[in-house]
Chain A
């Protein structure tokens, strides 16, 4: 969730000045975006030689900043630089801005694919069989189609399965009806796209 970035957050960010290298700054920025975990705080504390409590606050503030940038889609340097207070360390401000701009496209793509949704279709397989006999008719030749749909739920409920499979049998008429429906969807989509 995108909370507002506070003055306290910027104070915490200045702890980045204690980083051993620019790469270390980059690492902690990227990792804090995903989740400001305790393990990350501990790693950062030892790498930066700062107390664990301060490292935890730093990681949290980085998380708030990167999500704020993502939410409002701040995509130019000016927009991000404008967030920082006047007194903020100039070089650090530029470095953080550069890191945020570099990673924004990836973060945005991830956010879109992680968003809540119905189970997403992952795979589709089909086969056509020829039914040659049954308990009511010993000799026949009727084609039938089996379709297997594999779906993945991006946010499964607790204890629920993430991947589910459904196999559906279609008669010729059903398949024709489906294609009719899908054709209508395609037509509607092209009307919308044309606008």
Chain B
């Protein structure tokens, strides 16, 4: 992984440290960025930086040592970086982190994920038992991902069943919206 602004190559340990950064929740993360930015804007204030880090570690029940190492990995900038570049770096990193998070969530395991749905409906005109019928039927094909391949599930619904299906899916959606 190359950094955009230095073209240096990151050592492996940094990659792990970045993953550890993912473990902070949004609030914690923002606070860390704040601390970092403050330091970057005034790189001579190393003591204050260390103090902030130690306080942060204490508030969130983590040990200061690993946190300091983590911050060292992040600070792959030569000393004397000017204000503008420091702010730019912090902003880039913030954006990069958001994209990484989204990617990580998107890769979260999904069991039997629904990939596609096709349907057709029509009227049964007659059968071998009854010459003239006239029932409406709905046929659904669900394409489900099972591991690396997909499986097709076919089913038929009567009209009342279809309306019930629609009703239940609307209830499920309402339930999901409660939680976001």
Alpha-carbon gap, A118 to B71, bound state (A): 61
**Which residues 126-180 of B sit at the A interface, judged by CB distance below 8 A?**
127-133, 135-139, 142, 144, 153-159, 161-166, 168-173, 175-176, 179-180
If A136-B104, A170-B114 touch, does A178 touch B128 (CB 8 Å cutoff)?
no
Within the complex, which residue of A137, A144, A181, A188 is in contact with B101, where a contact is CB–CB below 8 Å? A137
CA distance A142 to B169 in the complex (A): 18
In-complex Cβ contact of A144 among B25, B110, B135 (8 A): B110
Main SS class of interface, B: mixed
Is B92 in contact with chain A by the CB < 8 A criterion?
Answer: no
- Inter-chain CA distance A73–B127, complex, in Å, is 12
Q: Does A15 contact B (CB under 8 A)?
A: no
User: Which residues of A are in contact with B by a Cβ distance under 8 Å?
Assistant: 1-2, 67, 70-73, 108, 111-112, 114-121, 124, 126, 128, 130-131, 134-145, 147, 149, 151, 166-172, 174-179, 181-183, 185-186, 188-189, 192
Chain B residues packing against A (C-beta within 8 Å): 22-23, 25, 101, 104-105, 107-114, 117, 119, 121, 124, 127-133, 135-139, 142, 144, 153-159, 161-166, 168-173, 175-176, 179-180
In Å, the complex CA distance between A114 and B130 comes to 11
Structural contact, A166 and B108, CB atoms closer than 8 A = no
CA distance A192 to B134 in the complex (A): 13
Quick check: B168 and A178 within 8 Å, CB to CB? no
Contact assessment for B173 and A179 in the assembled complex, using a CB-CB cutoff below 8 Å: yes
For A183, the chain B residues whose CB sits under 8 A away are 166
Known A112-B133, A142-B105, A175-B173; contact A167-B180, beta-carbon cutoff 8 A: no
Is the Cβ of A185 less than 8 Å from the Cβ of B138?
yes
Establish whether residues A73 and B132, one from each chain, have CB atoms under 8 Å apart when the complex forms: yes
| CB-based contact B105/A119 at 8 Å | no
Q: Is there contact, CB below 8 Å, between A121 and B112?
A: no
**What residue of chain B has the Cβ atom nearest to residue A176's Cβ?**
B173
